[in-house]
Amino acid sequence: MDKHSPSISSAAAAEERLEPAEETCFADTPTMSKPSHTHRPVHAQRVQNLHANGVTLHVVRDGPPTAEPLLLIPGFAMQLTDWPRGLIDQLVEAGFHVIRFDLRDMGLSESMDSHGQAGLVQAVLWRTFGASAMVPYTLADLADDAAALLTALEVPSAHVCGVSMGGMVAQHLVARHPQRVRSLTLMMTTTGSPWVPRASPLLLSRLQMEPPSWNQSEALVQHFVNLYSAIGSPGFPEPTHELRERVEAGLKRSYRPQALSRQMAAVVSDGDCTPLLRTIHVPTVVIHGSDDVMVPVGAGRDLARRIPGAIYDEIPGLGHDFPRALWPRFVRNIAQVARQARQRPASP
């Protein structure tokens, strides 16, 4: 376990409010146009700030609290609002109580800016020599945050879906807290093994480019539009105006450029998760796109081969995003392993 022991307040002590629609919380940032097609869910939401593992996490829950809990773990640079609203609605309709949260240092969760900007050189040193002081936090810390969040919500265990970096966090979660995970969905992710395909050096250099400053708001939006277009799904292209509105909404909600360097340091310092896979004994599905340039498809194939009994769904034309046309397929995959988990005999 991580050397930092969880510090958790009860759900009753958490700041909470009920809202009939998707949260909209815009930071004090330069003016940009508000999305014109904000989707409003038909069910009530619970929006909370919870103290878990020594940090404050912003949490949104959708669907009946009596339904089976599904914890969504976001990827690199993702906020909880980056999970498509329509996908959340379909998961609720499939019978899940969907729990989304902003990782520490992202979105509306507690900032780690006091740690300053993390450098990749320091992260490589951590990976090589185990110098923990070099990295503000690790993926294992984020996994412990997720487990502590479930405790704060009084959820003994949940189905877990992690995407991209969130899939790596999910691997740590099931290894470190196996009793908290009912089933596992790993989307567009990797073990971090040096032997599996990785993103091209050109794409990695684009990820590490310093974005334009806030006083160049138009250039900043275009920077992220170009980046997300580069990693998107060639078989399911997102209309440019929708992508632009999504980027603008995300930047208005929260933008922490230094946090991106700290997240990248956590990924680089993590090393190879392959040894963790032998600890996975829950129904698991691995979903990967044949056209993913961020995490090439060979990484997904390797991941699925190494998890006993894992289902593998390779989707032609899928890149590193959530195309609307594939939402029902994602839901079916998540529901399939959840159903398998329900049918398993109870542990003695």
Listing DSSP states for 14-43 in one string gives SEEEEESS------S----PPPS-PPPPSS
Q: What is the DSSP string of 229-290?
A: HHHS-TTSPPPHHHHHHHHHHHHHH---HHHHHHHHHHHHHH---HHHHTT--S-EEEEEET
Of residues 18 and 163, more confidence is placed in 163
Q: Is the pLDDT of residue 299 over 50?
A: yes
Of residues 133 and 80, more confidence is placed in 80
pLDDT tens-place string over residues 140-156: 999 999 999 999 999 99
Residues 6+ apart with CB under 8 A from 205: none
Q: Which of 156, 141, 136 is nearest to 103 (CA)?
A: 141
> Considering the domain boundaries, does residue 317 fall inside one?
yes
Q: Is the pLDDT of residue 189 over 80?
A: yes
> Considering the domain boundaries, does residue 292 fall inside one?
yes
Q: What is the CATH number of the domain that holds 265?
A: 3.40.50.1820
Of residues 29 and 112, more confidence is placed in 112
Q: Output the furthest CA–CA distance in the chain (Å, rounded).
A: 60
Q: Is the pLDDT of residue 229 over 70?
A: yes
Interhelix angle 165-176/139-152, rounded to 10 degrees, is: 70
Whole-structure pTM value: 0.86
Residue 42 gets which letter from DSSP? S
In DSSP terms, 37 is beta-bridged to none
Q: Is the pLDDT of residue 26 over 50?
A: no
Residue 250 tokens, joined: 């995300």
> Considering the domain boundaries, does residue 1 fall inside one?
no
pLDDT, mean of residues 94-102 = 99
The predicted structure's pLDDT at residue 114 = 83
Q: Which of 100, 11, 37 is nearest to 63 (CA)?
A: 100
> By residue range, what is the domain housing residue 74?
11-21+29-343
* Spatial separation of the C-alpha atoms in residues 148 and 152, rounded to whole Å: 6
> Considering the domain boundaries, does residue 6 fall inside one?
no
Q: Which of 209, 197, 152, 192 is nearest to 291 (CA)?
A: 197
Of residues 104 and 128, more confidence is placed in 104
> Considering the domain boundaries, does residue 348 fall inside one?
no
Of residues 40 and 319, more confidence is placed in 319
Q: Is the pLDDT of residue 285 over 60?
A: yes
- Asked if 289 contacts 298 with a C-beta cutoff of 8 angstroms, the reply is no
Of residues 124 and 243, more confidence is placed in 243
Residue 198 gets which letter from DSSP? -
pLDDT, mean of residues 7-23 = 42
> Considering the domain boundaries, does residue 125 fall inside one?
yes
pLDDT tens-place string over residues 303-330: 999 999 999 999 999 999 999 999 999 9
What percentage of the chain reaches a pLDDT higher than 70?
A: 81
Of residues 21 and 53, more confidence is placed in 53
- Flag the least confident range among 13-22, 80-89, 192-201: 13-22
* Confidence band, pLDDT 50/70/90 cuts, at residue 269: confident
> Considering the domain boundaries, does residue 4 fall inside one?
no
The predicted structure's pLDDT at residue 22 = 41
* Spatial separation of the C-alpha atoms in residues 193 and 198, rounded to whole Å: 9
Q: For the chain, what is the domain count?
A: 1
* Confidence band, pLDDT 50/70/90 cuts, at residue 20: very low
